[in-house]
């Protein structure tokens, strides 16, 4: 491979561990290696570190520390949230409301529940990628037990009206309804927008450490006091029986440190990401033809830009950018490697060509303006080259314009 530099614009897929986070974690790999369930000094030291991390993660979302369950990541958090709640409901279901733009983990869980007899309503997200409160209201049934809508989307970054949905759930409860809970997947939103679970009015919320400059392997589920969920990992007393298994102390400590730093640096990170994204989008609009920006222009996370390039397969663009040292993704990271059009971009009403030509650029705290310039230079050159070669291309010859059929 011949490239002069590497630019990572895939921070929604994962982030590098912050050196400060690694420093906080290191002692728990070596001299402070105790099992947090052990009674002796080594165990107590590990327990104290887990408790501290629990306070730090709770602090990021305005929760109490005993409302945080540590687990392996966002996918497991979503599984525990939905399965754990649905299995705890007496009498069971059978109705869940969710959106058509959830992360694949949530989609997979709902499909599995559907096979077991649960009914799922998937709300539209319209062209701007935002779910409407009125749709939630009209989808509500007497037997709806759960509403699960993500706080911010992982492909287009759109921020969903969770606070409004939370208010609706509270209203329903105030009028005597007992079995209705709100879950939100905040894996992408955490550390990007301020989150206060009380203000949001959600009952359960999913988090993942590796999107926050901590290593992979830790996540958390916020479960509001009084909400009953059934542990899906059984056979141990850890995490108050909601997640059996020896706690991954180093990862949890790292998650705590990352949550604390994210809270302190949230505004600064957002300002930086927004500035870079605005510069990037303005330059792309000026220098690359036939592009369509996906998602709501304002109501979205500051670091995500999702763009469809007409007449180009997103996968080819991704590979060509990679050859020049630039890392981006098509659809969500989990669906990369398949040529299926992104279900999220399809849910915006885009056709298959635009859905397949969509690329997500996600900026991080250490990206620079010089990197943006480099990416735009490469992007405009590569897009032009691919369009010349592409069978999808609209070939332009003097005074004649036509599309080559494949």
Q: What residues are labeled active site?
A: 334
Which of the residues 330 through 359 are near ligand PLP (CB under 6 A)? 332-333
Characterize 254-293 residue by residue with b for buried, 16 or more Cβ atoms within 10 angstroms of its Cβ, and e for exposed.
Answer: bbbbbbbbbbeebeebbebbeebbeebbebbeeebeebee
What are residue 309's phi and psi, to 5 degrees? Answer: -105, 115
Residues 381 and 379: their CA atoms lie apart, in Å, by: 5
Residue placing its CB nearer to ligand PLP in the complex, 94 or 157: 157
φ, ψ (nearest 5 deg) of residue 106: -65, -40
Crossing angle of the two packed helices 369-389 and 314-323, in degrees rounded to 10 = 130
Residue among 154 and 272 whose Cβ is closer to ligand PLP: 154
**CB of 214 vs ligand PLP, minimal distance in Å:** 11
- Cα 222–Cα 226–Cα 228 angle in degrees, nearest 5: 75
**Which residue from 188, 306, 342, 390 is in contact with ligand PLP, where contact means CB under 6 A?**
188
Residue 278 dihedral angles phi and psi, to the nearest 5°: -65, -40
The token duo for 226 is 């009084």
- Per CB under 6 A, contacts with ligand PLP among 89-108 are 103, 105
Among 34, 74, 129, 295, which residue sits at the site for ligand PLP (rule: CB under 6 A)?
Answer: 74
The residue whose two tokens read 């916020």 is 222
Query: Could you say which residues in the range 224-243 bind ligand PLP, by CB under 6 A?
Result: none
Task: Supply the minimum distance, in Å, between the C-beta of residue 274 and ligand PLP.
Answer: 20
128-157 footprint of ligand PLP as x/- string (CB under 6 A): ----------------------x---x---
> Token digits for 238?
């850890």
Distances 393 to 98, 161, 310, 402 between C-alpha atoms, Å? 37, 38, 8, 9
By the rule CB under 6 A, 110 interacts with ligand PLP = no
Instruction: Figure out which of the listed residues 18, 45, 185, 203 binds ligand PLP, where binding follows CB under 6 A.
Output: 185
Q: Residue 208 or 238: which CB sits closer to ligand PLP?
A: 208
By CB under 6 A, is residue 191 in contact with ligand PLP?
no
Indicate whether 75 belongs to the interface with ligand PLP (CB under 6 A).
Answer: yes
305 or 332: whose CB is closer to ligand PLP? Answer: 332
Orientation of helix 104-115 relative to helix 74-88, angle to 10°: 30
CB of residue 168 to ligand PLP, shortest distance in Å: 22
CB contact at 8 A, 273 and 33: no
Shortest separation between residue 332's beta carbon and ligand PLP, angstroms: 6
| Residue 44 to residues 70, 239, 249, 301, Cα–Cα distance (Å) | 17, 15, 12, 39
Shortest Å, Cβ 394 to ligand PLP:
34
Q: Which of 34, 73, 84, 295 lies at the binding interface for ligand PLP (CB under 6 A)?
A: 73
Closer residue to ligand PLP in complex, CB, 103/296:
103
Instruction: For ligand PLP, give the closer residue by CB, 208 or 272.
Output: 208
Q: Are 294 and 308 in contact (CB under 8 A)?
A: yes
Q: CB burial class (10 A; 0-12, 13-18, 19+) of residue 398?
A: exposed
Residue whose structure tokens are 């490697």? 337
- The yes or no reply on residue 34 touching ligand PLP (CB under 6 A) is no
Site residues for ligand PLP, 298-337, by CB under 6 A, read: 332-333
Residues that bind ligand PLP (CB under 6 A): 73-75, 78, 103, 105, 150, 154, 185, 187-188, 208, 210, 219, 332-333
């Amino acid at each position: 491979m011949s490239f002069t530099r590497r630019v990572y614009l895939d921070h929604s897929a994962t982030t590098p561990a912050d050196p400060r986070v690694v420093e906080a974690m290191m002692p728990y790999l070596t001299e402070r290696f105790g099992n947090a369930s052990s009674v002796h000094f080594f165990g107590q030291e590990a327990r104290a570190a887990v408790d501290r991390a629990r306070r730090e993660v709770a602090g990021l979302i305005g929760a109490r520390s005993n409302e945080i369950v540590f687990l392996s990541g966002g996918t497991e958090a979503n599984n525990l949230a939905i399965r754990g709640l649905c299995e705890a409901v007496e009498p069971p279901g059978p109705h869940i409301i969710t959106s058509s733009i959830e992360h694949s983990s949530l989609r997979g869980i709902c499909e599995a529940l559907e096979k077991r007899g649960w009914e799922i309503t998937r709300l539209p997200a319209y062209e701007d990628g935002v779910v409407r409160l009125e749709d939630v209201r009209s989808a509500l049934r007497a037997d709806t037990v759960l509403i699960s809508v993500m706080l911010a989307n992982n492909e287009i970054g759109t921020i969903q009206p969770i606070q409004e949905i939370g208010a609706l759930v509270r209203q329903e409860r105030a009028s005597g309804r007992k079995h209705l809970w709100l879950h939100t997947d905040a894996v992408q939103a955490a550390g990007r927008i301020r989150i206060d679970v009380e203000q949001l009015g959600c009952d359960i919320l999913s988090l993942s450490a590796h999107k926050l400059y901590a290593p992979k392997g830790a996540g958390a589920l916020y479960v509001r006091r009084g909400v009953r969920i059934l542990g899906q990992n059984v056979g141990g007393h850890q995490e108050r029986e909601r997640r059996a298994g020896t706690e991954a102390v180093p990862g949890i400590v790292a998650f705590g440190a990352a949550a604390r730093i994210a809270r302190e640096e949230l505004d600064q990170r957002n300002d930086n990401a927004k500035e870079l994204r605005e510069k990037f989008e303005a330059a792309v609009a000026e220098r690359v033809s036939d592009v369509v920006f996906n998602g709501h222009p304002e109501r979205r996370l500051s670091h995500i830009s999702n763009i469809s390039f007409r007449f180009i397969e997103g996968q080819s663009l991704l590979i060509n950018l990679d050859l020049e040292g630039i890392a981006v993704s098509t659809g969500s990271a989990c669906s990369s490697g398949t040529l299926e059009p992104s279900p999220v971009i399809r849910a915006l009403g885009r056709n298959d060509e635009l859905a397949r030509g969509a690329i997500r650029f996600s900026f991080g705290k250490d990206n620079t303006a010089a990197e943006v310039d480099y990416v735009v230079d490469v992007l405009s050159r590569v897009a032009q080259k691919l369009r010349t070669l592409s069978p999808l291309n609209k070939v332009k010859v003097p005074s004649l314009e036509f599309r080559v059929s494949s």
